């Protein structure tokens, strides 16, 4: 029996320094302390704590399977503790994504976002974790389509016989809370028809068609549907497996050599250009952005993240590279173009997606002044 290992990537905005800018070191230290203890106690085998903008990210590798209540509780308690520290320091938006009070066995529906994948370890298992700030789950539809369905992006779809059977995409309708599975290349037009509607349909998982091997899982939540009001965008994470009959790491990264537009940015109410960056630049500034994305590469080995001689997980900061300088420049160019338009659509989202709108109040105020045209 091949060994089964679980990757759990769980994230939460627990409060941040200088508005919605970054998670400060003292909060990262709390996460580090708790995950170190969990590792010493044997609950998890490896971990990596980082932040993308104002989101605290816990990447954990263990052998307890998906949706394990001890793992979810570890994340929940860590977010609670970090949020309490944020409150004490009067950081901004302390506990922002912690929408429930009592933990009840799973973190689902409680505010934090998560992507989890149980895998049977292959001979070598390269993984890329992508995490973004100031955007939502639909931001990954376009690159995931390119990576797993577009032969103009992924050479392996054309020239690797192991990929010839294509991939199956699980798509979530976030409004009706229903899922559908579409098989590519046969249903590529149907897939684009759905996931091109990025605000409603989101790719939640991808499997290799010929053997159902799990290839990618994403966090697809809508915080506003849990809280019943605007509480920030659902800054998403995805875990993607690479190589040996799956897209190569380079095929996973190449869609990001150009910037593209995603929803989010200021007040979660604007279209903004995605900017691929290394961890050192994973912070949102201009107009609370532009939306940033990081890609961390690692190897799963014997139930852990492959580690160096000192036991430190080896993490490749994949967008910290000159190959993405063009995308960063494009992002700045698109940002300046969009911001010149101010609050005029399409720079601003349509009224249904804005969530932060004053339109209702304005219409109410002007009610008596509208005359038949
Ligand atoms: C985006 C985000 C920020 C805030 C903005 C206003 O997800 O969190 O852009 O919406 O900084 O924040 P408030 O209303 O808290 O002053
Ligand atoms: Mg925030
Ligand atoms: Mg955020």
> Per-residue pLDDT tens for 299-311?
999 999 999 999 9
Domain of 170?
4-366
Low-confidence ranges of the chain (pLDDT < 50): none
Structural tokens at position 8 = 């759990």
Q: What is the pLDDT of residue 163?
A: 94
Q: What is the pLDDT of residue 230?
A: 63
347 with 273: CB under 8 angstroms? no
13: annotated active-site residue: yes
Any idea which residue has 């994403």 for tokens?
218
Q: How many CB atoms sit inside 10 A of residue 276's CB?
A: 27
Report the atom number in ligand 1 closest to the C-alpha of 92. Answer: 15
15 lines ligand 1 (CB under 6 A): no
266 lines ligand 1 (CB under 6 A): yes
CA atoms within 13 A of residue 19's CA, in its CB half-sphere: 11
Flag whether 372 is in a domain: no
> Per-residue pLDDT tens for 97-137?
998 888 989 999 899 999 999 999 999 999 999 999 999 99
Q: What is the pLDDT of residue 233?
A: 66
List beta partners, residue 5.
119
216 with 207: CB under 8 angstroms? no
Flag whether 84 is in a domain: yes
Flag whether 176 is in a domain: yes
Flag whether 371 is in a domain: no
Flag whether 35 is in a domain: yes
Residues in the chain: 373
Residues with CB under 5 A from ligand 3 (ion): 13, 54-55, 133, 235
Report the atom number in ligand 1 closest to the C-alpha of 288. Answer: 9
Q: What is the pLDDT of residue 232?
A: 63
Count structural domains, the chain: 1
Flag whether 344 is in a domain: yes
Q: Which of helix, strand or coil describes residue 278?
A: coil
User: What spacing in Å lies between the alpha carbon of 224 and ligand 3's midpoint?
Assistant: 14
Flag whether 236 is in a domain: yes
Q: What is the pLDDT of residue 334?
A: 98
């Amino acid at each position: 029996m091949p060994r089964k290992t679980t990757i759990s990537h769980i994230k939460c905005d627990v409060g941040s320094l200088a508005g919605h800018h970054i998670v400060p070191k003292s909060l990262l230290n709390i996460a580090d302390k708790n995950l170190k203890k969990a590792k010493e106690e044997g609950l998890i085998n490896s971990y990596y704590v980082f932040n993308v903008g104002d989101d605290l990210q816990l990447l954990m590798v263990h052998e307890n399977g998906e949706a394990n209540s001890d793992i979810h509780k570890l994340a929940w308690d860590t977010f609670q503790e970090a949020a309490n520290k944020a409150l004490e320091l009067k950081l901004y938006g302390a506990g922002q994504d912690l929408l429930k009070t009592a933990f009840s066995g799973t973190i689902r529906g409680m505010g934090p976002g998560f992507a989890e994948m149980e895998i049977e370890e292959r001979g070598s298992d390269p993984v890329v974790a992508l995490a973004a700030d100031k955007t939502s789950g639909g931001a990954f539809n376009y690159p995931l389509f390119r990576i797993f369905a577009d032969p103009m992006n992924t050479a392996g779809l054309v020239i690797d016989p192991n990929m010839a059977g294509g991939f199956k995409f699980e798509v979530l309708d976030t409004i009706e809370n229903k899922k559908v599975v579409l098989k590519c290349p046969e249903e590529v037009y149907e897939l684009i028809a759905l996931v091109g509607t990025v605000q409603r349909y989101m790719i939640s998982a991808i499997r290799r068609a010929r053997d159902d091997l799990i290839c990618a899982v994403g966090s697809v939540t809508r915080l506003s549907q849990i809280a019943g009001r605007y509480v920030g965008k659902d800054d998403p994470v995805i875990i993607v497996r690479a190589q040996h009959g799956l897209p190569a790491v380079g095929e996973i990264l190449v869609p990001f050599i150009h910037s593209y537009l995603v929803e989010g940015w200021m007040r979660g109410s604007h279209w903004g250009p995605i900017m691929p960056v290394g961890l050192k630049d994973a912070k949102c500034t201009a107009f609370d952005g532009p939306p940033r994305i990081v890609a961390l590469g690692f190897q799963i080995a014997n139930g852990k993240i492959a580690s160096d001689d000192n036991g430190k997980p080896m993490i490749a900061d994949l967008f910290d590279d000159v190959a993405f300088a063009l995308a960063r420049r494009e992002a700045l160019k698109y940002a300046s173009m969009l911001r010149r338009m101010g609050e005029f659509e399409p720079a601003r989202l349509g009224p249904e997606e804005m969530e932060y709108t004053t339109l209702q109040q304005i219409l109410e105020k002007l009610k008596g002044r509208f005359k038949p045209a």
